[in-house]
A and B are shown apart, each in its own frame.
Chain A
Amino acid sequence: MANTVQTKAAVRPVDTQQPRATIARRQKSPYPFWFMIPAGVIYTVLFLVPAAVAFYFSLTRWTLFDQEFIGLDNYVQFFEEPALVSGLTHTLIFAVVTCGLKVVIGMALAVLLTSQIIGRAFLRSVAFFPVLVSTIGVGIAFTVLMNPTRGAINGALGVVGVQGPGWLTDPQWALLSVAFVDVWRGVGLATVIYMAGILSIPQEYFEAAKVDGAGSGQSFWHIVLPLAKPATVTVLILSLIGGLRSFDLIWAMTKGGPGFTSDVIASVIYKQYQAGFYGLSTAGNVILFLLVTGIVVPLFWWFNRKGVEA
């Protein structure tokens, strides 16, 4: 008993006084650093170390057992082969399209689902459920639905007299079609994030605006849009990260085809890995890493700085 009281007294200065900290640390803190060791070891060995050594292995010709240093050859090859470098542009297109649509549609659905309509709870669940369904399952189902001649989507379009495109077989449409399915699958998450944002806005603002004669359009532009900005930032960043890293859905629906027209970096990484070009595959990984951090980190920093100013 006396011992523990002493320990507690000794813990206090750890935070404030440097010289005594080392003495106190030898005493037992109730918050020992070794608590972090198991998680730290797993995380370091299986996540941080691979991420770090990727930079070295991307400079080699590599078979897992044998490696030969070849400098920047993998990167040169990546940027010279049209099939590979187009993966880079496709990744950007896919990320921007999915992210933009999720922000806009998510916001619209959230406004709808926070307004006075019947069956809100049900509609919320309906929109959110696809988030939890197997991506591969969704991909397979939509591959069938998007079949150019027999699929239900073009069948329905045919009824109203529209000739639907070959969603997944037309090189111009394949990447966009997969992006649409990704939006279908992920917009529920954007919606609930926006709903949380809108519901946190005090109701008085809307009432005050109404007294001042603002219509619903005005209160959307001047109240909802600015005050839901943290939600927008979250949706934007989450869907950008998701879009840039996206692999499952593309692989389930088109495998990068037709040709290489829907290949993204993540699918290039897998194809090169399957083909045994481990160095090239890892170079793709490093490029993806640089792309994601190069876009997301500045964006994150910029939004945070703006937030402080406001």
Chain B
Amino acid sequence: MTSRRPNYLLSAIALALFSVIFLLPFAFILFTAAMNQEEAATFRFSWPDNWQLIQNVKDVFRTRDYILVVAFINSTILTVASVAVMVILAAMVAFVLQRRKSRWNVPINILMLAGLIIPPAVVPTIWVMQELGIFKTMHGLILVEIAFGLSFCVLLFQAFISTIPRQLDEAAIVDGAGPLGLFFRIIFPLLRPVIVTVVVVQTVFVWNDFTNPLYFLPGDENATVQLTLFNFQSQYNTSYNLLFADILLITIPPLLLFLFFQRQIVSGLTAGSVKG
């Protein structure tokens, strides 16, 4: 572990092993997505006889009156709206929770941790949403995603806010800032690094979410991207090429985020895990 010279043999083994285990499945998805229908149905793992990826992508978009386009729009609205609201509300909670010590802090923190551990109660949530008239609506699902994502965001923000010196608050107050001014003009901009992390992690999470749209926004016209995959799966028993083209398409947004924000994603997911 401390030797300075790279271990060539180990490197070669690691490279080969990682390629087979982690890269081949993605190659399989790509190849199958570029095959024609008959070839894809053989489940063969090989270079496609004739490469027709573009054609398949066009076909998958055209399926069922461009339902995939609708799904992309739905998923984008869902992701952007829920992540934006989640970040602002969670930062406000974390700010007060971190700065103002009161006897409510412990119970509030316990309730927050519960959000990370307890599985959401499905049918009762539907019942509450139905009573409020927001079941099967996009804004209802957005609120659900916010509710389920808040805990994680608050914990991350709280840890970061504790590193911002209180003198800064005091200076701003002396200069006449009210609570809103203090938070939105002084504190919130300082949270930028952790905001990037939270936004990226939650975006990937909400974009990939399957369970919540399945339960709380059923119906074909409301499909999100993950649900199109599921619907195509039962429908496209014969067109595996289109099914895999769909997988490829909906993986692009997380892939782009990953390429640009890999470090933030990793630091967000590992935050607080080392110190214990």
Instruction: Please list the residues of chain A having a beta carbon within 8 angstroms of any beta carbon in chain B.
Output: 1, 4-5, 7-8, 14-15, 28-33, 35-36, 38-40, 42-43, 45-51, 53-54, 57, 62, 64, 111-112, 114-119, 123, 125-138, 140-142, 144-145, 147, 150-152, 155, 184, 189, 192-193, 196-197, 200, 203, 206-207, 210, 216, 219-220, 229-231, 233-235, 241, 244-245, 247-248, 251-252, 266, 269-270, 273, 278, 281-282, 285-286, 288-289, 292-293, 296-297, 307
Q: How far is the CB of B51 from chain A (nearest CB, A)?
A: 19
B183 within 8 A of A: yes
B159 near A: Cβ within 8 Å? Answer: no
Task: Name A136's closest neighbour in chain B (CB-CB).
Answer: B229
Instruction: State the CA gap A99–B273 with chains docked (Å).
Output: 16
Total residue contacts A-B, CB cutoff 8 A? 291
Residue interface bits B207-240, CB-to-A below 8 A is 1, else 0: 0101100110000000001100110010000001
The segment from B66-74, B191-199, B246-254 that touches chain A is: B246-254
**Set of chain B residues within 8 Å of A46, measured between Cβ atoms:** 125, 128-129, 143-144, 147-148
Is the Cβ of B121 less than 8 Å from the Cβ of A35? no
Query: Taking A48-B111, A125-B262 as contacts, is the C-beta distance between A53 and B276 under 8 angstroms?
Result: no
A152 touches B270 (CB 8 A): no
The answer to whether A31 touches B1, judged by C-beta atoms less than 8 angstroms apart, is: no
Q: For the complex, what is the distance from the CA of A247 to the CA of B226, rounded to whole Å?
A: 14
Q: Is the interface of B mostly helix, strand, loop or mixed?
A: helix
Contact across chains for B247 and A137 when beta carbons are under 8 A apart: yes
Please tell me if the beta carbons of A230 and B14 are within 8 angstroms of each other in the complex: no
List the A side residues contacting B214 at CB < 8 Å.
270
Using known A-B contacts A116-B6, A133-B251, A193-B270, determine if residue A278 contacts B229 with beta carbons closer than 8 Å: no
B128 contacts A42, C-beta separation under 8 Å: no
9 smallest beta-carbon distances between A and B, as pairs: A230-B276, A50-B124, A54-B121, A152-B45, A234-B273, A137-B247, A46-B147, A39-B89, A31-B100
Residue contact A126 to B18, C-beta cutoff 8 Å: yes
Q: Is B106 an interface residue (CB 8 A)?
A: no
Cα distance, A126 to B151, chains bound together (Å): 29
Residue ID in chain A nearest B23 by CB atoms: A126
Given A116-B1, A131-B269, A137-B29, 14 further pairs, Cβ under 8 A: A46-B129, A112-B10, A117-B6, A117-B7, A125-B262, A126-B18, A128-B262, A134-B247, A152-B43, A184-B21, A196-B273, A230-B274, A270-B214, A293-B118
Closest chain B CB from A123 CB (angstroms) = 5
Once A32-B96, A197-B274 are accepted as A-B contacts, the answer to whether A127 and B18 lie under 8 Å apart by CB is: yes
**A244 to B116 alpha-carbon distance, docked (Å):** 13
